[in-house]
Amino acid sequence: MSINLQESFKAYDVRGIVGQSITRESVRATGAAFVDVLDLSGKTVLVGGDMRPSSPEFMDEFADGATARGADVVKIGLISTDELYFACGVLDAPGVTFTASHNPAEYNGMKMAKAGAVPISSETGLFDIRDAAQRYLESGVVALETTGSVSERDILVDYAQYLRNLVDLSSIRPLKVVVDAGNGMAGMTTPAVLGNAVLPALPLDVSPLYFDLDGTFPNHPANPLEPANLRDLQAAVVEQGADLGLAFDGDADRCFVVDEKGDPVTPSAIAALVAEREIARAQADGTEEPVVIHNLITSKAVPELVESLGGRAVRTRVGHSFIKGVMARENGVFGGEHSAHYYFKDFFNADTGMLAAMHVLAALGTQERPLSGLAEKYAPYVASGEINSEIEDKAAAVARVREALADEPIDVDDMDGTTFTHRTDGWWFNLRPSNTEPFLRLNVEGPDPATMERVRDEVLGLIRQ
């Protein structure tokens, strides 16, 4: 079967349907191409994967292709995506993990990083790897005279200890936390980091929900961004009288939080909470103006808080490669996205849902208020959430909005899609066209529910004409 790798190689990772757009042959070819493009012959390459049924054989195939081209492969086994970034950072080696994150069971894919956890995207070598893999797929992988070796290494204990060294939870007040792993990799990492599976117990009573590693996702999709997938967690938090709930996506690089009432705490509020802690830590270490990165869909409460604390807020486009690039360039201490990706200087500028969760636990456990009360100051505005409209001529729809608001005191910028900010009424919205689907994505934020709803409805009326 002939496969066009353009179908599975995306801007930031590889993702496709197993047996169709991602196969054993294409994975082996990608392993060989990874080594060639990054000049890794004679060097170490880390290979891991999540709990999806196809991940073990894909790890083997990638290793075969990589060793054929001279790399020494270290298999790090079952891992969350942030474990890959940890390993690439601590071991200073490039690597790949097989995962399709929150996608359904029939998918798998690859997330790649260079040594030091530097991201690999379409702009930094991913498409070069794709093109080299396509050639190998068509002509076969040619092994070097001296091939590489394969060894194994378990990194779970080191990963858990590393995170505990960054956020000390040993002296917080006792907390009961329900964790929904969604049958994903958090079912393995949560007991290691927050429980006593590999390290001494913390003052946490962890109530597990769907911790069995099962890439068929028998309970609900491992995508907490969809409200329906939070319902079991919300109900469990209320029923058990827990202090909070945590929900991770399939590869556990994103974390969503619900308070003691079962109400979701917005990712922007979590970003503001963590930013406050990271700014204080950096200032205590002598940094005069700590930098915090946020994407343009994040609540304006985040940059406002950062500036009020003596930090500097830097706005960037949506997408982890942009955030990580700006984190490195600006020497940022922390970065947050509306999609619940959280990035840390002390974690190689990479995103980790578990470390963000630990900051929330630390903030909650060092004071007496419930999470709903603690989070109030971080969420002063009202957001619509992302609303998708299926529109073929997206440019014309945006043009209608521009024309309708031409006489209003509004600032417009085109950093990522089009953002409209009212200079006096305190609201803003962003329209971003999807690159792969006929969707125009709308995010609105206002000072109160009535204003947000009015702006939301007016904009939807304009774009859906």
Q: Which residues contact 148 (CB under 8 A, 6 or more apart)?
A: 41, 42, 66, 67, 68, 69, 70, 71, 72, 73
Residues of the chain with pLDDT below 50 are none
245 three-state secondary structure: strand
How far apart CA 295 and CA 317 sit, in angstroms, is 5
Q: Exactly one of 21, 55, 101, 299 is catalytic; which is it?
A: 101
Q: Closest by alpha carbon to 379, among 290, 240, 270, 286? A: 270
Q: Which helix (H) or strand (E) holds 17?
A: strand 14-17
Q: Closest by alpha carbon to 155, among 188, 108, 110? A: 188
Query: What share of the chain has pLDDT > 90, as a percent?
Result: 95
189 three-state secondary structure: helix
425 three-state secondary structure: coil
Largest CA distance in the chain: 71
Q: Closest by alpha carbon to 376, among 296, 228, 233, 259? A: 259
| 80 among known catalytic residues | no
Q: Closest by alpha carbon to 17, among 67, 44, 52? A: 52
How far apart CA 444 and CA 456 sit, in angstroms, is 6
Instruction: Measure the CA dihedral 137/142/144/150, to 10°.
Output: 50
Each residue of 38-49: pLDDT tens digit? 999 999 999 999
Q: Which residues contact 405 (CB under 8 A, 6 or more apart)?
A: 420
Q: Which residues contact 398 (CB under 8 A, 6 or more apart)?
A: 417, 418, 431, 433, 440, 463
Q: How far separated are the first and last CA of the chain, in Å rounded?
A: 44
Task: Classify residue 395 by burial, with Cβ atoms within 10 Å: 0-12, 13-18, 19+.
Answer: exposed
How far apart CA 256 and CA 354 sit, in angstroms, is 10
Q: Yes or no: say if 358 and 377 are a contact pair by the CB < 8 Å rule.
A: no
| pLDDT score at 436 | 63
181 three-state secondary structure: coil
Name the phi and psi angles at 223, rounded to 5. Answer: -135, 90
DSSP string computed for 108-167: EEEEEE-GGG-B--TTTTHHHHHHHHHHHHHH-PPPPSS---EEE---HHHHHHHHHHHS
How far apart CA 240 and CA 251 sit, in angstroms, is 26
Helix 156-166 vs helix 353-365: angle between axes, to the nearest 10 degrees? 40
Name the phi and psi angles at 17, rounded to 5. Answer: -85, 130
Q: Yes or no: say if 334 and 274 are a contact pair by the CB < 8 Å rule.
A: yes
How far apart CA 111 and CA 185 sit, in angstroms, is 15
Instruction: Measure the CA dihedral 454/462/399/383, to 10°.
Output: 30
Name the phi and psi angles at 60, rounded to 5. Answer: -65, -45
Q: Yes or no: say if 463 and 401 are a contact pair by the CB < 8 Å rule.
A: yes
**Please, what is the average pLDDT of the chain?**
96
